[in-house]
């Protein structure tokens, strides 16, 4: 396994130098501004340009996560316009292969990630996000974030519909991904609550539900799990849920979001690595033991005094924060201590 600078919203020289100074050799992007995708898909030209820019700094592109909401919101919701968006998603997959980028992450939340507070006090007064189901009716504190679909839902969406929508998605895109050699990796629902948020049911809310997603994908080598440790440890059971997922999926885990959380649903808050629901060293050891050979990234990070803004800020100055440097350094120490290959 290896460590990459991840969740990059906008790549430029500041981010490249941040990666280099932290001693990292690869990067992962989160629907980056560098890929405008104005026609509803990412073009080969913009994908190649991003990859070339990274090459120039000696940084390998591990993968991309999440297309912009308007590329596929009707696919997730099962609304008219879905077929055209599925065609466009397939164009993105083929374009990625042409550009030499082979991992594409997706979530399947019709109303995206949900929080009830973005600046809750964490350790020493650092700012962290928080979720409390009791406050969820007040709305999503993340509503302004770039991946929250701006269009309201046409009507409420049930869990059955969400499962059917996911099956339709896989049926359309998996054969194309197989042919292109691109791996599509699923992020669990955050927060993993079994009640609708903003009118849409959530389905990937437990280890069993993730196992069911894998069954839908059959034995396709083009499907994998993005093990978000924050999200899975938010599930009932906390560390036990994490262990169950690692043991069940093994090498079918394609990538890991390494972030920590205190508390499980219905209420939790994000935390520094090592002060939350699971033991980071034990989790890395277990991943190595089951044969995980993908990449590990930082994800959301607490905001320390002097950081430019909350992690929801997408500009490079906000991104290159003390919080992120701490998370990466913490993981590098663990990789070294556990003698994990970082190639
Ligand atoms: O758990 C989470 O909320 C994160 O990992 C997300 O920021 C994630 O990167 C995606 O946007 C959901 O795919």
CATH for 178: 3.20.20.150
Would 254 be classed as within a structural domain?
yes
342 — pLDDT class (breaks 50, 70, 90)? low
Would 276 be classed as within a structural domain?
yes
Residue 289 · residue 246 · CB < 8 Å: no
Distance of CA 253 to the CA centre of its chain: 13
**CB of 228 closer than 6 angstroms to any ligand 1 atom:** yes
C-alpha 317 to ligand 1 mean position (Å): 20
Would 88 be classed as within a structural domain?
yes
Model confidence, pTM:
0.97
Please report the pLDDT score of residue 341 as a whole number.
Answer: 75
* Pocket perturbation via mutation, ligand 1, pick of 4, 5, 7, 166 by most ligand atoms within 8 A of CB: 7
Would 314 be classed as within a structural domain?
yes
Would 342 be classed as within a structural domain?
no
Atom of ligand 1 nearest to the CA of 30: 9
SS (H, E, C) 100-165: CCCEEEECCCCCCCCCCEEEEECHHHCEEEEEEHHHHHHCCCCCCCCCCCCCCCCCCECHHHHHHH
Measure the CA–CA gap between 39 and 297, rounded to whole angstroms: 29
pLDDT one-digit tens code per residue, 248-305: 999 999 999 999 999 999 999 999 999 999 999 999 999 999 999 999 999 999 999 9
Would 134 be classed as within a structural domain?
yes
What is the ipTM score, two decimals?
A: 0.93
C-alpha 38 to ligand 1 mean position (Å): 23
Q: Which domain holds residue 109?
A: 2-337
Q: What 3-state DSSP class applies to 83?
A: helix
Position 4 pLDDT exceeds 90: yes
Would 343 be classed as within a structural domain?
no
Measure the CA–CA gap between 128 and 106, rounded to whole angstroms: 24
Would 40 be classed as within a structural domain?
yes
Domain count, the chain: 1
pLDDT one-digit tens code per residue, 66-124: 999 999 999 999 999 999 999 999 999 999 999 999 999 999 999 999 999 999 999 99
Q: What 3-state DSSP class applies to 19?
A: helix
**How would you list the strands of the sheet with 260-262, edge to edge?**
117-121, 127-132, 267-271, 260-262
**What is the number of other CB atoms lying within 10 angstroms of the CB of residue 343?**
6
Q: What 3-state DSSP class applies to 208?
A: helix
């Amino acid at each position: 396994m290896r460590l990459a600078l991840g969740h990059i919203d906008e790549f430029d020289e500041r981010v490249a130098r941040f990666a280099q100074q932290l001693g990292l050799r690869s990067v992962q992007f989160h629907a980056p501004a560098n890929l405008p995708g104005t026609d509803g898909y990412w073009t080969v030209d913009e994908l190649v340009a991003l990859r070339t820019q990274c090459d120039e700094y000696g940084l390998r592109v591990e993968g991309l996560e999440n297309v912009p909401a308007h590329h596929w919101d009707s696919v997730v919701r099962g609304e008219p316009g879905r077929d055209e968006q599925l065609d466009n998603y397939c164009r993105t997959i083929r374009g990625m292969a042409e550009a030499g980028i082979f991992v594409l992450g997706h979530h399947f939340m019709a109303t995206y990630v949900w929080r009830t507070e973005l600046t809750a006090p964490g350790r020493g007064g650092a700012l962290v996000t928080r979720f409390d189901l009791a406050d969820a009716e007040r709305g999503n504190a993340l509503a302004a974030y770039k991946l929250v679909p701006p269009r309201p839902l046409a009507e409420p969406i049930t869990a059955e519909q969400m499962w059917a929508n996911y099956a339709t998605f896989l049926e359309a895109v998996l054969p194309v991904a197989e042919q292109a050699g691109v791996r599509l990796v699923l992020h669990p629902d955050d927060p993993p609550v079994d009640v609708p948020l903003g009118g849409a049911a959530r389905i990937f809310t437990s280890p069993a539900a993730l196992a069911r997603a894998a069954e839908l994908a059959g034995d396709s080598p083009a499907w994998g799990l993005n093990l978000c440790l924050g999200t899975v440890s938010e599930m009932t059971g906390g560390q036990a849920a994490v262990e169950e997922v690692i043991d069940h999926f093994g090498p079918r885990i394609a990538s890991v979001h390494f972030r920590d959380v205190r508390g499980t649903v219905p209420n939790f808050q994000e935390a520094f690595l090592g002060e939350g629901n699971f033991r980071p060293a034990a989790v890395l050891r277990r991943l190595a033991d089951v044969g995980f050979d993908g990449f590990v990234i930082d994800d959301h990070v607490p905001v320390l005094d002097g950081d430019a803004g909350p992690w929801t800020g997408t500009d490079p100055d906000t991104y290159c924060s003390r919080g992120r440097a701490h998370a990466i350094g913490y993981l590098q120490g663990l990789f070294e201590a556990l003698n994990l290959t970082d190639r």
